[in-house]
Amino acid sequence: MNILVVGCGKIGSTIVASLVEEGHNVMAVDNNPAVLESITNIYDVMTVCGSGTDCDILAEAGAADAELVVAVTASDEFNMLCCYLAKKMGAQHTIARIRKPEYNINSLSFLKQQLGLSLIINPEMLAAKEIHNIIKVPSALKIESFSGRNFEIIEIMIGEGSPLHNIKLMDIRSKFKAKFLVSVVLRNNEVFIPDGHFVLRQGDKIGLTGESGEIIKLLRALGVERKQARNIMILGGSSTAYYLSKLLIETGHRVKITERSESRCDELSDLLPKAVIINSDGAQQEVLEEEGLNTTDAFVALTGMDEQNILISVFARNKHVPKVITKINRPELSEMARNLGLDTVISPKKIVSDILVQYARALENSLGSNVETLYKIMDDKAEVMEFNVRADFKYTNTPLKSLKFRPNLLIGGIIRNRKSILPTGDDVIMVGDRVIVVSESRRLNDLSDILQ
């Protein structure tokens, strides 16, 4: 597809990288020539230097023939205007980053309709929702939801002394009563899509699929379920911190935010009257201890500096805070953070990138299904996708054991009429089903791609 990306900062450059990797023809627009030069040195893309609200620049960049235009500059209003102009010039689909809290749900719905936007993305809100999900199940490293949020894939680590150590997958069901499936395993930086003979080991990171209640039942049986986190400390008063605090307060959590800017503290106090706002430099260890770090249930580092988030998160972990969550945008630092023992890392730009890849793949569907959801899991070494099965899918009502699947993928679940099925060889795919597919980093556009 021909895709135009306007704004090549942290979010934009990550989107460009993901779309190029997907094989799309990408045109990048930015008013900073140094930024564009950096992108062309790394990726095979065309660029135009200038403003995304200049019709001549948009015309030069090919907006009229673009199948998708993505505007992700730092200005919400700029992004909206860019998408509006591109749509008027002939672009088929437009996506704008809009992140200001004052654009509430009602106004966003109105703007989307009036501006002809296909999708609105808010990286900070998306990151806040992901962190909120993890705080609800503290023993999970990552949680992704499908179809009404009842069916999930959860990443956990097999720790020392775990009942899962040295057990064959075919023996798990008889040992644990919960209904779940081990869909993917990360071992020594290598991904496995396991069969029944696969033996789990201590240190494996595994992806479990199933209904949320069933996975919680398993975590209890394993003895790794942690108590619900109630007292949350957040480092940094960013937009992500605001959205996260709002979600946490609505679900009965107690929230404390440390922020060194006095004016931002005043804003947060007005926006979040039920939160405790501390005007101090939370990067100072003694400040965190004075504010109760030792008694907090979860610590979330959300400053704008990756290095600071890592260092303070390591400090919180060494103080035995039960759950530590770290926001990191630079991929090379994410790997370093994990090596330092920080196992729960969130990247807003990566979340947005996954959504853009999902949307682009959905536009390419033509063979009887479409991608509803896409997540990168296992340190981005595997994918899990949710497909909606349409009437023209060729393999409906055929037992799964009769189908020949490509290697290194499996069907992790089927959702039918809001009920979830952990599939066996006798199950079939039916029109209207939502099918969850786990794959070892294989580019799948359509459900038919899983078959040989």
The class that CATH gives domain 352-450 is alpha beta
CB-based contact 236:302 (threshold 8 Å): yes
The CA-atom distances, in angstroms, between 183 and each of 20, 196, 446 are 28, 11, 19
DSSP letter assigned to residue 408:
S
pTM of this prediction? 0.86
Angle at 379 between CA 373 and CA 382, to 5 degrees: 50
| Residue 148 pLDDT | 63
Sign of the Cα pseudo-torsion (365, 370, 371, 373, in order): positive
CA separation for the pair 216, 213 (Å, rounded): 5
DSSP codes of every residue in 176-199: --S--EEEEEEETTEEE---TT-B
**What is the CATH code for 138-222?**
3.30.70.1450
- Among 342, 297, 291, which Cα is nearest to 323's? 297
Tens of each residue's pLDDT in the chain, 452 residues: 999 999 999 899 999 999 999 899 999 999 999 999 999 999 999 999 999 999 999 999 999 999 999 999 999 999 999 999 999 999 999 999 998 887 777 788 888 888 999 999 999 999 999 999 999 888 888 888 887 667 899 999 998 888 999 999 988 877 887 789 999 999 998 999 998 899 999 999 999 999 988 888 888 888 876 677 899 999 999 999 999 999 999 999 999 999 999 999 999 999 999 999 999 988 888 889 999 999 999 999 999 999 999 999 999 999 999 999 999 988 889 888 988 989 899 999 889 998 898 888 888 765 455 788 888 899 888 999 999 898 888 899 999 999 999 889 999 999 998 888 999 899 999 999 999 999 987 778 788 888 88
pLDDT for 365 equals 64
Task: Please indicate whether the domains covering 2-121 and 231-321 agree at the CATH topology level.
Answer: yes
Q: pLDDT per residue over 172-188, tens digit each?
A: 877 887 789 999 999 99
Structural domain boundaries of the chain? 2-121, 138-222, 231-321, 352-450
Conformation bin of residue 219: beta by default, left when phi > 0, alpha when psi is -120 to 50 = alpha
The dihedral through the CA atoms of 150, 155, 160, 161 has a sign that is: positive
CATH class, domain 231-321, is: alpha beta
Give the strand order in the sheet containing 276-279.
276-279, 254-259, 231-235, 298-301, 323-327, 345-346
Q: 2-121 has which fold?
A: Rossmann fold (3.40.50)
What pLDDT, on a 0 to 100 scale, did the predictor assign at position 138?
85
* Runs of H (alpha helix) within 365-420: none
